[in-house]
């Protein structure tokens, strides 16, 4: 095969240099930016447009009627809030659907106008737009303010020309005032736009007044509300308290990393490549590989990380039981190499998976000897005893996150999750008990003839002009069946795969595959039934479940 690779590389070297078109790249980038901006401002536009659509289809401004206590703990982490004050009505993003890797911007909406005497609340606890103020009826002294955080940053947000550095409270005097703007319903309602990097976030505040020239009192009232805006840091990552003889690093909760949040502890200094000198230890690399490779037989390296993020609780996962402290690092738990990613041949580890404070964690204690003695294990035990796991956001049974919602029928189990660090969204629902953190089930082959598994995956890297826009309710038909070995496109088997390890589907099942776009978002839907020939009634029952599926266009 090496010869073939050499020949292929030689051929590729002979390909004429491709055309570059920087102007085209720039135009397309501008379009993509606009799409994201449109998503971030959708709630505002709906307020302006005054169309009666489910608010949940926009930005999930949760229906917490005022008063709105400003909780300072992480149990209701939203990231942004404003405490209740007389004369203001406050709505905020439902904490149940806020997620550290969720592209939905957490928002808080404050208005001097009553949003509704009795807000209509749907089954998911979200509001309908009819409960929001109509800009056309905004009185001259009326104020509507919407503040949002951008959680999509994959590195600490650096101030730039669009989101300049600022300190809280933001000042209305710094706002860009627009008397004419996209989506404007009433020409007398101006928009005051503030964008800033502050409090560890890129944030945006849009304020609307009932008159093009709000007087000093109205502006002062708006500024006072802006002064009350609270920004809270993200929940902390698990990690280890500092202690003599140990080096520690922990993901900074204010940042969103392109990999799993994690905590490290090492008996030796971290290697330059893992934690370069001068780099904030809150931004470690994805794995202390070089540190491990430099360690000797008397050293210990400990890593705790979250493999995926979800707000949905899992019942009794065999490999992720609640972790009981202190974690016992007995010699009986030592496992010798080989395993994937091992730093060298003569290594061993103790690995513990489980839940702590509603977080799914994997703890790895690595020894650079195949036979760690009692003294070395005891040393590691002391450090593991210093593990701190801050509470995660509270779990919720609702399948609602990243702009995707679906009701679970009685007897079904499901979850929405993302692999930690910004992985693609996956919705998983089935009649089978969930018993595997990653794949949902360990017993796909054992599906009964009436069992159904639904997996919806977002393809964030797909282009947006290929699959048909979907009409809701989403419907699958027998024509969507993906037959093993059949050619769909040019890689039929890939289309039939349901697990990311590339494993082939079991025999004797029916698999329906449906690709579609919702606005600028692309999705792949797999439906697997435990029978080789699904009846029309079975497919109809699947469609009954899919009828509750709602996806927000980005």
Partner 1 sequence: MTDPAFRDLYEREFPAVFRAAYALSGDRELAEDAAQEAFARALSRWRRLSGESWAAGWITTTALNVARRGLRRRPVTGAARPDPVDTEALLDLRAAITDLPARQQTAVILHYLTGLPVREVAAAMQCREGTVKAHLSKGRAGIERRLTAAQRQVPAETKGDDDG
Binding-site ranges for partner 1 (CB under 8 A): 1, 4-5, 7-9, 11-12, 14-22, 24-30, 32-33, 36, 153-155, 157-158, 160, 258-259, 286-287, 289, 340-342, 421, 423, 459, 461-463, 466, 487-491, 493-495, 497, 500-502, 515, 522
DSSP-assigned letter for residue 106: P
Question: Residue 95 or residue 157: which is nearer to partner 1 going by CB?
Answer: 157
Structure tokens at 236: 């902390």
Assess whether the previous peptide bond of 473 is cis (omega < 30° from 0).
Answer: yes
Is the Cβ of residue 289 or residue 541 nearer to partner 1 in the bound state? 289
CA dist 177 to 37, 133, 190, 197, 531, Å? Answer: 18, 21, 7, 19, 61
Q: Between 14 and 117, name the residue whose CB sits nearer to partner 1.
A: 14
Report the alpha-carbon distance of residue 441 to residue 519 in Å, rounded: 31
Would you call 82 helix, strand, or coil by DSSP? coil
Q: Which C-beta is closer to partner 1: that of 85 or that of 153?
A: 153
In the complex, the smallest distance separating the C-beta of residue 273 from partner 1, rounded to whole angstroms, is 9
Cβ at position 211, least distance to partner 1 in Å? 36
Residue 329 and residue 350 in contact, taking contact as beta carbons nearer than 8 Å: yes
* Chain centre to alpha carbon of residue 79: 14
Q: Which is nearer to partner 1, 94 or 458 (CB)?
A: 458
The three-point CA angle 222-93-388 to 5° equals 110
Is 303 or 453 the residue whose CB approaches partner 1 more closely? 303
User: Residue 38 belongs to what H/E stretch?
Assistant: helix 22-40
Structure tokens at 194: 């503030």
> Smallest gap, in angstroms, from Cβ of residue 14 to partner 1?
5
Element housing 219 (H / E): helix 216-227
Nearer to partner 1, 113 or 290 (CB): 290
DSSP conformation class of 245: T
Q: How far is CA 28 from the centre of its chain?
A: 25
Two structure tokens written together for 534: 């699904």
In this complex, which beta carbon is closest to partner 1, that of residue 114 or of residue 469? Answer: 469
Can you tell me the distance from the alpha carbon of 177 to that of 199, in angstroms, rounded to the nearest whole number? 23
In whole angstroms, how close is the CB of 482 to partner 1 at the nearest point? 12
Nearer to partner 1, 64 or 481 (CB): 481
State the nearest-atom distance from the C-beta of 240 to partner 1, in Å.
21
Nearer CB in complex with partner 1: 161/324? 161
Work out whether the CA dihedral 441, 443, 445, 448 comes out positive or negative: negative
Q: Min. distance of Cβ 251 from partner 1 in angstroms? A: 15
For 212-243, b/e burial (b = at least 16 CB within 10 A) is eebeeebbebbeebbebbbbbebbbbbbbeee
Between residues 53 and 460, which has the closer beta carbon with respect to partner 1?
A: 460
For partner 1, give the closer residue by CB, 104 or 144: 104
**H-run or E-run covering 366:** strand 359-367
Among 374, 366, 373, smallest CA distance to 265 is for: 366
Of the candidates 117, 105, 85, 133, the one whose C-alpha atom is nearest the C-alpha of residue 37 is: 105
The pair of structure tokens assigned to 483 is: 């037959």
Q: Using CA atoms, how far apart are residues 286 and 423, in angstroms rounded to an integer?
A: 14
**Gap between the Cα atoms of 42 and 521, Å rounded:** 15
Q: What size, in residues, is the chain? A: 554
Which DSSP string do the residues of 120-136 spell out, in sequence order?
-B-TTSBBBGGGSPPGG
Q: How far is it, in rounded angstroms, from Cα 198 to Cα 536?
A: 55
CA distance 431 to 411: 7
């Amino acid at each position: 095969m090496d010869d073939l690779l050499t020949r292929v590389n030689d051929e590729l070297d002979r390909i004429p240099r491709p055309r570059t078109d920087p102007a085209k790249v720039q135009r397309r980038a501008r379009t993509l930016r606009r799409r994201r901006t449109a998503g971030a401002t959708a709630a505002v536009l709906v307020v302006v447009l005054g169309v009666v659509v489910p608010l949940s289809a926009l930005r999930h401004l949760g229906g917490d009627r005022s008063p709105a206590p400003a909780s300072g703990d992480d149990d209701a982490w939203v990231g942004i809030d404003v405490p209740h004050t007389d004369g203001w009505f406050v709505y905020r993003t439902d904490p149940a659907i806020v997620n550290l890797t969720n592209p939905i911007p957490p928002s808080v909406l404050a208005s001097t106008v009553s949003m509704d005497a009795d807000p209509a609340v749907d089954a998911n606890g979200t509001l309908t737009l009819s409960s929001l103020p109509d800009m056309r009826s905004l009185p001259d002294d009326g104020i509507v303010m919407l503040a949002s955080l951008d959680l999509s940053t994959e590195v600490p947000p650096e101030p730039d020309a669009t989101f300049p550095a600022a300190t809280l409270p933001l000042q209305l005097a710094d706002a860009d005032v627009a008397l004419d703007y996209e989506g404007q319903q009433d020409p007398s309602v101006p928009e005051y736009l503030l964008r800033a990097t502050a409090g560890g976030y890129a944030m945006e505040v849009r304020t609307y007044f009932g008159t093009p020239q709000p007087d000093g009192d109205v502006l002062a009232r708006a500024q006072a509300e802006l002064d009350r805006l609270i920004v809270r840091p993200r929940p902390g990552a698990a990690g280890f308290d500092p202690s003599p003889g140990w080096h520690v690093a922990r993901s900074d909760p204010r940042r969103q990393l392109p990999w799993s949040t994690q905590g490290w502890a090492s008996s030796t200094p971290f290697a330059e490549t893992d934690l370069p000198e001068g780099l904030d230890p809150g931004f470690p690399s994805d794995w202390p590989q070089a540190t491990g490779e430099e360690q000797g037989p008397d050293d210990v390296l400990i890593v705790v990380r979250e493999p995926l993020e979800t707000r949905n609780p899992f019942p009794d996962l065999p490999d992720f039981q609640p972790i009981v402290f202190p974690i016992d690092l007995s010699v009986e738990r030592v496992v010798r190499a080989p395993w994937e990613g091992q730093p060298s041949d003569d290594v061993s580890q103790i690995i513990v998976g489980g839940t702590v404070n509603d977080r799914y964690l994997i703890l790895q204690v690595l020894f650079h000897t195949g036979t760690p003695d009692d003294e070395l294990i005891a040393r590691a035990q002391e450090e593991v005893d210093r593990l701190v796991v801050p509470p995660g956001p509270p779990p919720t049974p609702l399948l609602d996150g990243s702009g995707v919602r679906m009701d679970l029928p009685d007897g079904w189990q499901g979850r929405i999750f993302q692999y930690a660090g910004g992985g693609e969204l996956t919705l998983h629902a089935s009649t089978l008990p969930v018993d595997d953190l990653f794949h949902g089930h360990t017993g796909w082959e054992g599906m009964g003839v009436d069992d159904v598994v639904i997996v919806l995956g977002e393809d964030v890297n797909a282009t947006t002009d290929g699959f048909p826009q979907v009409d809701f309710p989403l419907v699958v038909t027998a024509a969507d069946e993906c037959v093993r070995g059949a050619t769909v496109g040019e890689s039929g088997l890939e289309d039939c795969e349901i697990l990311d390890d590339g494993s082939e589907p079991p025999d004797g099942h029916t698999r329906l595959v449906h690709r579609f776009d919702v606005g600028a978002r692309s999705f792949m839907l797999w439906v697997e039934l435990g029978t080789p020939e699904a009846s029309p009634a079975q497919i109809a029952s699947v469609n009954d479940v899919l009828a509750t599926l709602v996806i927000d266009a980005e």
